[in-house]
Amino acid sequence: MTDDLRSEIIRLARQFHESRPPAPFVPGETYIPPSGKVMDADDCANLIDASLDMWLTAGRYADQFETEVAAIFGRRHAKLTVSGSAANLLAFACLTSWKLGEKRIKPGDEVITVAAGFPTTVAPIVQYGCLPVFVDVDVETHNVDVDLLEAAITPKTKAVMIAHSLGNPFDVQRVAAICKAHNLYLIEDCCDAFGALVGGQHVGTFGDVATLSFYPAHHITMGEGGAVLMNSPLLAKIAESFRDWGRDCYCKPGVDNTCNKRFGWRLGDLPKGYDHKYTYSHIGYNMKVSDMQAAVGVSQLKKLDHFVARRRENFAGLERRLRDAGLEELFHLPVPTPGTDPSWFGYLLTVRDGSGINRNLLTKTLEERKVGTRLLFAGNLTKQPAFRDVAYRVHGTLDNTDKIMNDSFWIGVWPGIDEARLDYMVETIASVAAEIRG
């Protein structure tokens, strides 16, 4: 009876979701957001199924998601957490653990990164007392200049932590080789690049740890959520400790005595036999997800290949339309990093010098005409108020970073954008650009 009732509730949830058709697109009236989620009845069914368990914290769906996402990447371990930003914090934190001995990252160590990106790729470096070393990017791929990265290495350098920008991989093969040659950790922020490939290999598999985000703007969603990927069993255990309050115990929620000596440990200066469930080996956090979030993620994961393909199709559709409209003369169009197959997060346009276009006026007018835009996140982090009192070092100049800060913006390629929307987006960009130029 209980199983039949559950099945009926889930059936009705599917029916409810399917009873709400999407609103028709009206050019100039319907807003085209630069990012968004695509949900279906399967997502709704999984969400309801998990909620009926009333388990609430991480459970069976979280276990399933971690197993399946690790398998996609060919990684041994995936640790689910509350957001992509939390995943970045968790990834960096685990590399500071005393359990790594002399290899651990310590306060005062240098970490090479870029200033043209999202703040929480860099924030953990600062939060753990390390020095961010910023190097410039190139305008076409909007990714790190690897020559500058290599030249920025000093005896104090301990790691490289960089994102694959807007789903376009940086030259991760070369960066990984540099890190290996200099004995540096590589942290790949793949939050905007789930599904991107380099030489047929997933980004997120070249470094020591990698991160993903499942915010609604990203390639798949569970509302809020993120994950850290790694091969090392030691790093996996450390990451789980930092995520779960810093505890030394590795039992799953609701489970006791996995180690079979819960009252037999002697750690730190605690008395022998102190309950292992309340023994802490790190200064940690509570970054666990609910099983309802994970349930949506399990369903979304089945559609990943389709979502990535649609993003690539929309990127190609925008590129074709922009070139046909002659807009390449006014804007730098994005270029895939050689040897890669990006999983595009957005389509970045950078106003060319001498074009007569003011980026701010352009994006303001596009928004008024219902074409959603975003900047390349923080632009130049060193100019942000949050970094006013932060110690950092710049190797060389950040001229291209400043160019992107002043002249770049991106528009959407997410799967909810169709041909009619692509037409309207490019037609509107062309007409607004012509108006601004007079």
**3-state SS, one letter per residue, for 377-424:** CCCCHHHCHHHCCCCCEECCCCHHHHHHHHHEEEECCCCCCCHHHHHH
Question: Given a cut of 80, is residue 397 above it in pLDDT?
Answer: yes
Q: How many CA atoms lie within 13 A of 263 on its CB side?
A: 0
The tally of CA atoms less than 13 A away on the side-chain side of residue 347 is 27
**194 and 324 belong to one structural domain:** no
Mean of pLDDT values over 194-208: 98
Beta bridge partners of 208: none
Distance CA 65, CA 46 (A): 12
How would DSSP label each residue in 274-300?
A: --GGG-BSS---B-PPBHHHHHHHHHH
E strands of 102-184, at which residues? Answer: 110-114, 131-135, 157-163
Short-list 63, 340, 85, CA closest to 206: 340
Helix (H, G, I), strand (E, B) or coil at 401: helix
More confident call, 266 vs 306? 306
pLDDT at 373: 98
Residue 255: per-residue pLDDT: 85
Specify the CATH number for the domain of residue 366.
Answer: 3.90.1150.10
Residues 210 and 245 in one domain: yes
218 is catalytic: yes
Q: What percent of the chain has pLDDT over 70?
A: 100
Tally the residues of the chain.
Answer: 438
> Which runs of consecutive H residues, i.e. helices, occur in 103-169?
119-127, 146-151
127-141, 253-267, 398-412, 414-428: least confidently modelled range? 253-267
| Closest alpha carbon to 400 in 332, 328, 327 | 332
Q: Grade residue 250 by pLDDT with cuts at 50, 70 and 90.
A: confident
Residues 287 and 344 in one domain: no
Distance CA 176, CA 158 (A): 13
Give the mean pLDDT of 11-35: 95
Task: Give the domain-ending residue among 242, 259, 292.
Answer: 292
Q: What's the rounded mean pLDDT across residues 388-417?
A: 98
Q: Work out the pLDDT band at 157, boundaries 50, 70, 90.
A: very high
- Domains: count for the chain: 2
- Domain co-membership, 286 together with 345: no
pLDDT at 257: 86
Residue type present at position 404: I
Work out whether the CA dihedral 169, 143, 122, 392 comes out positive or negative: positive
Sheet holding 331-332, edge to edge: 331-332, 347-351, 408-411
Which one of the listed residues 218, 219, 276, 282 is annotated catalytic? 218
User: Which residue type occupies 419?
Assistant: E
Among 231, 264, 292, where does a domain finish?
292
Do 89 and 187 belong to one domain?
yes
In a domain, 154, yes or no: yes
pLDDT on residue 258: 85
d(CA 260, CA 282): 22
pLDDT of residue 364: 98
For residue 1, pLDDT over 80 is answered with no
Structural domain of 125: 44-292
Query: pTM of the prediction?
Result: 0.96
For residue 21, pLDDT over 90 is answered with no
pLDDT(438) > 90: no
Q: Do 172 and 195 fall within a single domain?
A: yes
| Cα–Cα distance, 142 to 321 (Å, whole number) | 21
Could you tell me if residue 17 is inside a domain? Answer: no
pLDDT averaged over the chain? 97
Lowest model confidence (mean pLDDT) among 28-42, 243-257, 417-431: 243-257
Q: What distance in Å separates the CA atoms of residue 269 and residue 267, rounded to the nearest whole number? A: 6
pLDDT value for 2: 79
User: pLDDT value at position 78?
Assistant: 98
Residue identified by tokens 């942290």 is 187
pLDDT (tens digit per residue) in 281-300: 999 999 999 999 999 999 99
Residues 176 and 92 in one domain: yes
CATH value at residue 276 = 3.40.640.10
Across 374-386, average pLDDT:
98
In 3-state terms, what secondary structure has residue 437?
helix
Q: Give the model's confidence band at 158: pLDDT under 50 very low, under 70 low, under 90 confident, else very high.
A: very high
For position 115, what pLDDT does the model report?
Answer: 98
d(CA 214, CA 81): 10
What does the DSSP assignment read for 188-207?
EE-TT-TT-EETTEETTSSS
Q: What is the pLDDT of residues 58-112, one digit of tens each?
A: 999 999 999 999 999 999 999 999 999 999 999 999 999 999 999 999 999 999 9
Instruction: Provide the pLDDT confidence category of residue 190 given band limits of 50, 70 and 90.
Output: very high
Q: Which two tokens stand for residue 341?
A: 């197959």
**Using an 8 Å Cβ cutoff, are 174 and 146 in contact?**
yes
pLDDT, one tens digit per residue, over 315-351 is 999 999 999 999 999 999 999 999 999 999 999 999 9
Last residue of a domain, one of 228, 261, 292: 292
Q: Which residues contact 329 (CB under 8 A, 6 or more apart)?
A: 352, 355
Are 159 and 184 in contact by the 8 Å Cβ rule? The answer is yes
**pLDDT at residue 259 tops 90:** no
CB contact at 8 A, 74 and 63 = no
